[in-house]
Amino acid sequence: MAALAIAVAVLAVAMVTGSSGVAAVVTANKPVIYIFGDSMSDVGNNNYLLLSLAKSDYPWYGVDYETGFPTGRFTNGRTIGDIMASKFGVPPPPPFMSLYMTDDEVLGGVNFASGGAGLLNETGIYFVQYLSFDNQISSFEEIKNAMIAKIGKKAAEEVVNGAIFQVGLGSNDYINNFLRPFMADGIVYTHEEFIGLLMDTMDRQLTRLYHLGARNVWFSGLAPLGCIPSQRVLSDDGGCLDDVNAYAVEFNAAAKNLLERLNAKLPGASMSLADCYSIVMELIEHPQKYGFETSHTSCCDVDTTVGGLCLPTAQLCDDRTAFVFWDAYHTSDAANQVIADRLYADMVSAGAVQGKGNATAAAAAPAATPRVVVGGGAAPSMNATSPPKP
């Protein structure tokens, strides 16, 4: 058996074939989707973290989602991951925090993304409660153990080996860490040293995922962070911050080199970098080409407000499809559609989407009552037989 796993951040999904011959393939069966990331990918995990300050569970978020209500997504509608999942004929993976480890849903895709998360555990600390990348990997380990309990170690290993793991993290390590004057990392480290810290951390984390069975990993490169509304307002003329964009370019180059080294070192690993920088920059520089009118400010005009989110008191733009950015940090549903279309087209043109294979279809089960977590830090661990404790 081979299963497909996709994960999404500004963000991207791709399918790759490992050097060992392990391939992630699209079939008529339901592909498995795994998502690791931050608020660009979060579909509600932070809603279950009672002390988290990184939430979007209020209007106007979700106003253009199919339900019309907030879901925990940090946009007016769908994330890029939602759109990519629909291209493969599957529903968006549920948030990890909504599952019991006895659910049949653990056999399918799961979204581990958490708003405020970064590669570094100290990133986002002032959001109080969130799932860092290390926490998300531990959550995936819980899912894998639950899979083993249900279908056995061999079958679970085959599903995981055939899956794609998309990691969309790194933006918060800059926006909510290195670039913040009150965070220690921006004081202690030069940017060259900070890049080294991030790459050492990624090396350890991706190697850990590999040893948990991940073979096909798609890491979403950083977008032009200096051009998002929250950063533009810091410039003298409202333009992009070139130094911040340069940081993103340097990060992406270092990440690409790291992934190539991991491929050479780890048998069967096929880890790739998605070039999110180019497509997002194209949207920003040439919005009219894609049917947008505005790419320099947010739809709900919150570029300078604390938090930069579209609170219920915000005044929405008249045409939400005309804006590339929904709030001061996150792209709109319409922009996410364009980004997903481009990424999917790139996958097809590269021959990365295969039409045949034997993907494992997960059994569908009704959603369990969500677990509620009290306290700071990561979510508590659950075993495969006991329901979560509130």
Would you name the residues annotated as active-site residues? Answer: 39, 327, 330
Phi/psi of residue 155, nearest 5 degrees: -65, -40
In the chain, which ranges are continuous DSSP H helix? 80-87, 133-151, 153-161, 171-173, 185-188, 191-211, 229-232, 242-265, 276-285, 333-349
Phi/psi of residue 36, nearest 5 degrees: -125, 130
State whether residue 216 is helix, strand or coil.
strand
Burial status of residue 370 (CB atoms within 10 A of its CB: 0-12, 13-18, 19 or more): middle
CA distance 245 to 223: 8
Tokens found for residue 307: 């938090």
State whether residue 241 is helix, strand or coil.
coil
* Residue of 224, 213, 229, 228 lying closest to 250 (CA atoms): 224
CA distance 31 to 25: 8
**Share of the chain residues as helix, strand and coil, in percent rounded to the nearest 5:** 40, 10, 55
Neighbours of 186 (CB within 10 A): 16
CA distance 36 to 19: 23
Neighbours of 366 (CB within 10 A): 7
CA distance 105 to 4: 15
Length of the chain: 390
* Residue of 32, 28, 34, 35 lying closest to 2 (CA atoms): 32
